[in-house]
C-alpha cells in the first residue's frame, strides 16, 4: 500500500502500419495528445486498434485477417481502419463490417478525436453494465429507469450554405430520416434546436472560420444537446484536419456523401439515443442503501459493493482507475449554524454530481468527505477533475436553512491512482492518506502577504 503506482497510460492503443514512417508520425501525434501507441504484439487488453491502410494496396481479406487477429487478442477493443480518400465503395463496405473507417492525410487530429470519443462511449457503456450488476447484487429495493431506445427514424438537422454538397446531403438522408430540417445560418440552427428535437446534425462549414464550429462547441457544453452527434462535411482529408482543430469530432468527405452518409447518420443517431439512455440510468439509480438522500451521493454500502467490482474489472482489463477525494467545509462555524451549514454542504454535493462525468461514482464516506471513483482514468486526469470541482465549488455561493443566509464552501482536494491488486478498502485508505497529506501541506504553506 505504500508503493507508488506507476504512471498508467490514458488508453491502450495498438497500431498496425504499412511502413515505419507512418507509424512514427502517428506515434508522435498521439503522444502530443496524451496517448501511447503500442505494437500489435501488445494487443492484449487493448482499448483501441488502428489498422493503417494508406498508400498501400491491401486486399480486403488480408485487412480483415489482421482485424480478426487483433480481435482474438483483445475481444473488447474497437477497430479503426485508416484509409485513403480514393478507396472504392466495395472496399469501404468490406471494412465497415469489421470496424469504423476514417480518411485522414498526414495530420492525425481527426483520428485522435474519433478515438477520444469512442473511448468515452466505451467507458459509459462499461459503467452502465457494472453498475447494473452492483444494484442487482445489493438485494435492496432499487429504482432505476429501463435501458431501452426508440426504433423511430431519426430527426436530422442540416445547416450550411446551399450548393452541391447540401443537395447531396439532403438526397442521401431523405429516405432514412423521419424529418429533415434545413437551415442556412447559425441563428436559424439555434432556433431549430430550441423548438425541436434532433437525433443527428450535419454541418456544412464554408471554411475553418465558419460560425458553425462555435455552435458545435457550445452544443457539447449544453445539458440538453451535449449528446447530439454532429457530422462535419469536408472536401478533402486536409480540410477534416483543419475542422478537427476547431473542435469537430465526426467527419465525412463530400465524395462519400451519396454512399456513406445515410448509414453513418443512422449509426450515430442510434448511438446517441443509447448514450442518452445510459446517462439517464447512471444518474437516476436510487433506493435504500444506494444513495444518500440529502446529498444525492452514493452510500458506503454501495461503494463497498460497486468499488470491489470496479477494482476487479481494472485488474482484469489492466486499465487504470483513480480517485479524487474532496473535503468540504463552510465559512460559518458554531453550534447554532450546524443545520444551515449542513444544507449548504448538501447543495455543494449535488453540484459535484452535476459537474462530474456520467461514468464517475460520487460516494459520501464521511459527513463532509466525498470520494469520486474515476474508472479508466489515470492520476493526472483525476487530479484535473478534482481541481475543476474545487474551482466550481469555491466560485459558487450557497444558501442555508434561511434564504437570507449565504454560505461559501471551501474544498480541499487530492487525487491518487490505484496500485494493481489493491482492494477497495485499501484504495480508500490510500485516497484518505493523500487527502491528509494535502491538508497538512496547505496548513504548513505560508500565507501570501499583500502590501499595505
The CATH number for 353's domain is 3.30.70.270
Residue 42 has what pLDDT?
75
Q: Is residue 129 part of a domain?
A: no
* Same-domain pairing of 256 and 386: no
Q: Is residue 356 part of a domain?
A: yes
* Same-domain pairing of 178 and 189: yes
Q: Is 324 helix (H, G, I), strand (E, B) or coil?
A: strand
* Same-domain pairing of 207 and 196: yes
Residue 9 has what pLDDT?
64
Residue 446 has what pLDDT?
55
* Same-domain pairing of 214 and 248: yes
- Name beta bridge partners: 362: 372
Residue 450 has what pLDDT?
38
Q: Is residue 236 part of a domain?
A: yes
Q: Is residue 102 part of a domain?
A: yes
* Same-domain pairing of 275 and 294: no
Q: What is the CATH number of the domain that holds 111?
A: 3.40.50.2300
DSSP-assigned letter for residue 272: H
Answer with the one of 249, 283, 317 that is the final residue of a domain: 283
How many structural domains is the chain composed of?
Answer: 3
Long-range contacts of 3-8 (CB under 8 A, 24+ apart): 3/419, 4/419, 5/379, 5/416, 5/417, 5/418, 5/419, 5/420, 7/378, 7/379, 8/319, 8/320, 8/378, 8/379, 8/417
Q: Is 357 helix (H, G, I), strand (E, B) or coil?
A: coil
* Same-domain pairing of 248 and 307: no
pTM score:
0.84
* Same-domain pairing of 348 and 419: yes
Residue 202 has what pLDDT?
94
Answer with the one of 265, 283, 301 that is the final residue of a domain: 283
pLDDT tens string, the chain, 452 residues long: the values are 334 434 456 778 888 887 778 888 888 888 888 788 887 777 777 888 888 888 766 556 777 788 888 888 888 888 898 888 888 888 888 888 888 888 888 888 889 888 988 998 999 999 999 988 888 888 776 777 778 788 889 999 999 988 888 999 999 998 899 889 999 889 999 999 988 889 999 999 988 888 999 999 999 888 888 889 999 998 888 888 888 888 888 889 998 999 999 999 999 999 999 999 998 888 887 777 788 888 888 989 899 999 999 999 998 888 889 999 998 887 654 444 445 467 777 888 888 888 888 899 999 988 888 999 999 888 888 999 999 998 888 888 877 666 667 777 888 899 999 998 899 999 999 999 999 888 887 766 554 443 44
Answer with the one of 283, 313, 336 that is the final residue of a domain: 283
CB-count exposure of residue 268 (10 Å: 0-12, 13-18, 19+): buried
Domain coverage including residue 323: 286-444
* Same-domain pairing of 170 and 84: no
Residue 191 has what pLDDT?
92
* Same-domain pairing of 292 and 436: yes
Residue 403 has what pLDDT?
64
* Same-domain pairing of 302 and 244: no
* Same-domain pairing of 243 and 331: no
Amino acid at each position: 500500500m505504500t508503493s507508488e503506482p506507476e504512471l498508467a497510460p490514458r488508453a491502450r492503443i495498438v497500431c498496425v502500419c504499412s511502413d515505419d514512417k507512418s507509424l512514427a508520425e502517428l506515434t508522435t501525434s498521439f503522444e502530443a495528445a496524451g496517448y501511447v501507441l503500442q505494437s500489435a504484439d501488445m494487443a492484449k487488453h487493448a482499448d483501441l486498434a488502428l489498422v493503417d491502410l494508406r498508400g498501400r494496396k491491401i486486399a480486403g481479406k488480408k485487412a480483415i485477417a489482421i482485424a480478426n487477429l487483433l480481435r482474438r487478442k483483445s475481444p473488447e477493443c474497437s477497430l479503426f481502419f485508416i484509409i485513403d480518400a480514393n478507396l472504392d465503395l466495395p472496399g469501404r463496405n468490406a471494412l465497415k463490417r469489421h470496424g469504423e473507417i476514417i480518411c485522414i492525410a498526414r495530420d492525425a487530429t481527426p483520428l485522435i478525436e474519433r478515438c477520444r470519443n469512442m473511448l468515452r462511449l466505451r467507458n459509459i457503456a462499461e459503467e452502465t453494465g457494472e453498475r447494473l450488476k452492483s444494484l442487482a447484487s445489493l438485494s435492496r429495493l432499487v429504482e432505476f429507469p429501463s435501458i431501452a431506445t426508440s426504433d423511430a427514424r431519426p430527426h436530422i438537422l442540416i445547416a450550411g450554405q446551399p450548393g452541391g454538397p447540401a443537395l447531396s446531403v439532403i438526397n442521401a438522408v431523405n429516405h432514412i430520416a423521419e424529418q429533415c430540417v434545413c437551415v442556412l445560418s447559425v441563428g436559424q440552427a439555434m432556433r431549430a434546436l430550441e423548438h425541436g428535437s434532433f437525433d443527428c446534425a450535419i454541418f456544412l462549414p464554408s471554411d475553418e472560420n465558419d460560425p458553425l464550429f462555435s455552435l458545435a462547441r457550445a452544443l457539447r457544453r449544453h445539458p440538453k444537446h451535449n449528446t447530439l452527434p454532429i457530422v462535419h462535411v469536408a472536401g478533402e482529408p486536409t480540410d477534416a484536419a483543419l475542422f478537427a482543430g476547431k473542435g469537430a469530432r465526426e467527419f465525412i468527405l463530400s465524395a462519400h456523401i451519396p454512399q456513406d452518409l445515410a448509414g453513418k447518420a443512422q449509426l450515430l443517431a442510434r448511438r446517441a439515443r443509447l448514450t442518452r439512455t445510459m446517462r439517464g440510468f447512471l444518474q437516476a439509480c436510487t433506493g435504500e442503501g444506494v444513495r444518500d438522500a440529502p446529498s444525492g451521493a452514493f452510500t458506503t454500502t454501495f461503494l463497498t459493493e460497486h468499488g470491489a467490482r470496479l477494482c476487479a474489472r481494472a485488474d482484469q482489463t489492466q486499465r487504470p482507475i483513480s480517485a479524487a477525494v474532496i473535503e468540504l467545509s463552510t465559512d460559518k462555524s458554531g453550534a447554532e449554524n450546524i443545520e444551515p451549514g449542513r444544507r449548504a454542504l448538501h447543495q455543494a454535493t449535488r453540484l459535484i454530481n452535476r459537474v462530474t462525468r456520467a461514468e464517475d461514482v460520487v460516494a459520501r464516506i464521511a459527513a463532509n468527505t466525498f470520494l469520486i471513483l474515476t474508472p479508466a482514468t489515470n492520476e493526472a486526469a483525476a487530479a484535473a477533475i478534482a481541481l475543476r470541482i474545487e474551482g466550481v465549488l469555491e466560485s459558487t455561493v450557497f444558501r442555508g436553512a434561511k434564504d437570507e443566509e449565504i454560505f461559501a464552501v471551501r474544498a480541499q482536494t487530492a487525487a491518487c491512482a490505484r496500485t494493481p491488486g489493491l482492494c477497495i478498502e485499501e484504495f480508500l485508505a490510500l485516497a484518505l492518506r493523500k487527502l491528509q497529506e494535502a491538508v497538512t501541506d496547505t496548513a504548513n504553506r505560508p500565507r501570501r502577504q499583500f502590501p499595505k
